[in-house]
Structure 1
Amino acid sequence: MPDQSIPEARDRARIKAGTEAGAEARTQAGTPAPEEVASDQAGPAAQGLTRRKLLGTAGATGLVLGAAGGAVGYTAKPAGTTPLTSLGSGQAMFHGKHQPGITQGLQACGHLVSFDLAAGAGRKEAAALLRRWSRTAERLMEGEPALQDDTDVARDAGPSSLTITFGFGHSFFGRTGLEKQRPVSLDPLPDFSSDHLDKKRSDGDLWVQIGADDSLVAFHALRALQKDAGSAARIRWQMNGFNRSPGATSHPMTARNLMGQMDGTRNPKPAEPDFDQRIFVPESGTPAWMANGSYAVVRRIRMLLDDWEKLSVKAQEHVIGRRKSDGSALSGGTETTAMDLEKTDAQGNLVVPINAHARITRPDQNGGAAMLRRPFSYHDGFDADGVPDAGLLFVCWQADPVRGFVPVQRKLDRGDALSQYIRHEASGLFAVPGGAARGEYVGQRLLEG
């Protein structure tokens, strides 16, 4: 679990009112306030307003959205009804240069799902499926119901910053006759000595990432996309995760994982000059259909919490290389102070141990290798002995996994102090194409190129 900070929030708020509450909610991981306001200026009708139109009307008329209150449904509510909270009104954009769900801040709940194309399904069926999925994703992210057989699960909720992201696995290209278009960067990840991978919960033809700040909104999207798959694809595996809810802390701060540690302090930030070059495939890159896309490495990392929790806080801090209370390096300063790798104590011992996780994962210790982490925690119950099946759904983004994830994981595999308290149990690598322009579906440049 490389030691990098939570990505900068790029979520778009629907309405200016309630900005302070929304800013704190969207920056609970230590990131700045939302950047843009997206509003639908359509005028309201007396009855039958969709959630999208009602939200747009609120933005146009200056309706104040409080930080606490009820939710607006599909139709207009009687006068005096409490409007959507700032959490429910947050909206990410489906169309854009990049797909959503990459640079947005951490979301409170998520689903990672892998699909395999059905027997006999090929390029034509895949194109039709991506067209359906893109149409549904666009509607749901705008707060609209699905076009067909909507379940009403999210009927009373706003968009809640829903993001839906699509990717292609290595096997997708053979199934669709597009082997010549398969990127070299999608070659299978190397084996790592510490892996204990379950092949049934790894890889897949297609990958979908769903994130939202409301669990019902996220489930609604999951169900809609699964129904859209129809006979064209079947679910290979599904993993469900969560993060701290927006606004749960008194001030914006880096999120904690299930070990109680602040999980990441050195993520690349969009404001950095080399951010795009590290995270996204350049427009001049190959293959052309991956322009402005990225590669997602997905790992289910089980935390051996019973063993971890037997350690003293001091011992835990030496494993990580950072203080548990505030995330600061053991060499001193604050969470964002640069780690002094050469500092020693009175006995001449390194203050940050040589095998500390934070030391090993530093980009300057890995030839500049960096990735954008956007994980979820998970808990899938307990085994017969009462041991928790819990940990991290690790998702990281990079322009090329050979220069991002692979060198860092190789180094971790050779001597990370944290490795005896975690176990990598599932893995996947997916090519995530750039965002769809209006009128396009995700992957259209590949499937119709």
Structure 2
Amino acid sequence: MAGAGTGSQGRTGTDGVGFSRRRLLGSAGAAGAAGLVLGAAGGAAGYAASRPDEPTALTAIGATEAMFHGKHQPGITTPLQARGHLIAFDLAPGAGRKEAAALMRRWSAVARELMAGRPAGGTDGPGHDTGIALDAGPSSLTVTFGFGRTFFDRTGLTGRRPAGLDPLPPFSSDQLDARRSNGDLWVQIGADDALVAFHALRAIQKEAVGAAGVRWQMNGFNRTPGATGRPMTARNLMGQIDGTGNPQQTDDDFDTRIFVPSAADAQGASGAPGAPDASQDWLAGGSYAVVRRIRMLLDDWEKLPVDRQEQVIGRRKSDGAPLSGGSETTPMDLDKAGPDGRLVIPDNAHARISSPEKNGGAAMLRRPFSYHDGISADGTPDAGLLFICWQADPFRGFVPVQRKLDRGDALSPFLRHEASGLFAVPGGAAKGEYVGQRLLES
């Protein structure tokens, strides 16, 4: 599915996710022993038997720490996390560039502390840490910040607004709610523990008081790391393995597809004469995030037999392999025909229409969360995908692929695009900097 998750990735990435020696307090052996105790005594008894004054070993999931500082912001190439929150803010009336800079400085300081597993503030007094995650490790927490098109109007920086923030074109499948779309500022929070993620959400909200108000918030989830017997690409709520065709960090052109180059690097790559335009260098090392809330019409989808679902997608449901044969990572043979002369991957199959081969090489790094917000008024599940895709240029990544899907994707009747946003995500902050400083203090 074009609104998909990432392919299988290791536990390290270019945004600095890895095991911190000082945070890896336990070992696999200790965790295994604890598991045996719980298995023998029962989960409740084992939990009750632990003493709060005795330190215990964090598992690898709890101890994993993502780095705040780096060339790119965390949360872009970070492996999929189990819990996520997406939240957009609008600057308060009268707030401008000065207030935005102060907010980004506070947000960056909070993100840096929380991602290291430290409290966001003091232990008492106004602005104290809530204590929600005091006994947890970093749990792969990432906090990522982006700017919407209107942010540049509110801060008097329209001359620095990049062309990549031009409004997205309308699509026939759109049923967009303006109240849950766009925004001046966007924050993506991800973690492998639900309380750690919520703790970060509350801290971000508290720091915004007086400077910006919440425009919308969406909450999502993925499979918990370790829940499967082997590393594998995630499944979505339709049960499909989702994200097989994602660009990989080992690809030679990964950075050029996903991250915005500096003006000098862009000029060097194109060979164009003249002086490089440095007005957009605040975005160098950053990316563009397209965010879509995509409702899945699960009741209709689940009425289809599995073989029909596979024809809609163009891949086997069991293992994600293309209908043309092989394993999940086998390239699709888009020309292969069956004994009846028909294409084995139908001409309107989702995998065919969204493939780079059918879109002039257009690619994006898809990194979504699933969501479920209960039952809607018509009695159907309000569930689907919080689709997030990353690319160096949304008009060469997301837009051409979505236009192609809009014209005849067999999956479209089972989807409804209900909200949309486009955000410019600055590069990572160097030590001593806050995110967006190169824009707001230039």
Same fold? TM cut 0.5: yes
Q: 2:193 aligns with which of 214, 217, 226?
A: 214
**For the residues of structure 2 that align with 1:371 and 1:66, how far apart are their CA atoms?**
37
Rate the CA distance shift 1:193–1:9 in 2: closer, same or farther, 3 A.
Answer: same
**For the residues of structure 1 that align with 2:53 and 2:88, how far apart are their CA atoms?**
42
- The answer to whether the 8 Å contact 1:378/1:390 transfers is yes
Q: What is the CA RMSD across the aligned residues, in angstroms?
A: 2.1
**For the residues of structure 2 that align with 1:239 and 1:329, how far apart are their CA atoms?**
32
2:390 equivalent to 1:397: yes
Q: CA deviation at 1:77?
A: 7.1
Return the letter of the residue paired with 1:101.
Answer: G
Partner of 1:434: 427
- The answer to whether the 8 Å contact 2:5/2:80 transfers is no
1:30-49 aligned at under 5 Å gives the runs 36-40=18-22
Q: 1:99 aligns with which of 73, 77, 85?
A: 73
Partner of 1:89: 63
Q: CA deviation at 1:39?
A: 3.6
Partner of 1:6: 6
Partner of 1:46: none
1:11-410 aligned at under 5 Å gives the runs 11=11, 36-40=18-22, 55=23, 58=25, 66=31, 69=34, 81-147=55-121, 148-284=127-263, 285=266, 287-410=280-403
Return the letter of the residue paired with 1:376.
Answer: F
SS at match of 2:295: strand
- The answer to whether the 8 Å contact 1:294/1:399 transfers is yes
- TM-score normalised according to structure 1 size: 0.87
Return the letter of the residue paired with 1:135.
Answer: A
Q: Return 432-441 or 381-390, whichever deviates more.
A: 381-390
**For the residues of structure 1 that align with 2:190 and 2:200, how far apart are their CA atoms?**
9
**What stretches of structure 2 of length at least 5 have no aligned partner?**
36-50, 122-126, 267-277
SS at match of 2:330: coil
Return the letter of the residue paired with 1:299.
Answer: R
- The answer to whether the 8 Å contact 1:136/1:225 transfers is yes
Partner of 2:272: none
SS at match of 2:139: coil
Which whole-Å deviations, capped at 9, do the CAs of 1:328-382 have from their partners, x for residues lacking one?
A: 0001110011111111111111100000000001101100000000000000010
Q: How many pairs does the alignment contain?
A: 407
Q: CA deviation at 1:385?
A: 3.6
- Identical amino acids, percent of aligned pairs: 68
**For the residues of structure 1 that align with 2:428 and 2:219, how far apart are their CA atoms?**
24
SS at match of 2:255: helix
SS at match of 2:224: coil
Return the letter of the residue paired with 2:187.
Answer: V
**For the residues of structure 1 that align with 2:237 and 2:94, how far apart are their CA atoms?**
42
Q: CA deviation at 1:152?
A: 0.5
- TM-score normalised according to structure 2 size: 0.88
**For the residues of structure 2 that align with 1:221 and 1:145, how far apart are their CA atoms?**
10
**For the residues of structure 2 that align with 1:115 and 1:247, how far apart are their CA atoms?**
34
Return the letter of the residue paired with 1:202.
Answer: S
- The answer to whether the 8 Å contact 1:3/1:358 transfers is no
**For the residues of structure 1 that align with 2:108 and 2:8, how far apart are their CA atoms?**
25
Return the letter of the residue paired with 1:325.
Answer: S
Return the letter of the residue paired with 1:178.
Answer: L
Q: CA deviation at 1:384?
A: 3.2
**For the residues of structure 1 that align with 2:53 and 2:103, how far apart are their CA atoms?**
40
**For the residues of structure 2 that align with 1:388 and 1:298, how far apart are their CA atoms?**
21
**For the residues of structure 2 that align with 1:352 and 1:3, how far apart are their CA atoms?**
19
**For the residues of structure 2 that align with 1:429 and 1:35, how far apart are their CA atoms?**
25
**For the residues of structure 1 that align with 2:18 and 2:289, how far apart are their CA atoms?**
26
- The answer to whether the 8 Å contact 2:18/2:64 transfers is no
Rate the CA distance shift 1:5–1:385 in 2: closer, same or farther, 3 A.
Answer: closer
**For the residues of structure 1 that align with 2:200 and 2:389, how far apart are their CA atoms?**
22
- The answer to whether the 8 Å contact 2:17/2:67 transfers is no
**For the residues of structure 1 that align with 2:146 and 2:11, how far apart are their CA atoms?**
20
Rate the CA distance shift 1:357–1:63 in 2: closer, same or farther, 3 A.
Answer: closer
Rate the CA distance shift 1:8–1:94 in 2: closer, same or farther, 3 A.
Answer: farther
- The answer to whether the 8 Å contact 2:7/2:234 transfers is no
Q: CA deviation at 1:82?
A: 2.8
SS at match of 2:226: coil
Rate the CA distance shift 1:195–1:96 in 2: closer, same or farther, 3 A.
Answer: same
**For the residues of structure 2 that align with 1:130 and 1:6, how far apart are their CA atoms?**
28
Return the letter of the residue paired with 1:399.
Answer: A
Which whole-Å deviations, capped at 9, do the CAs of 1:379-407 have from their partners, x for residues lacking one?
A: 00102342000000000000000000000
Q: CA deviation at 1:63?
A: 10
Rate the CA distance shift 1:396–1:162 in 2: closer, same or farther, 3 A.
Answer: same
Rate the CA distance shift 1:6–1:107 in 2: closer, same or farther, 3 A.
Answer: same
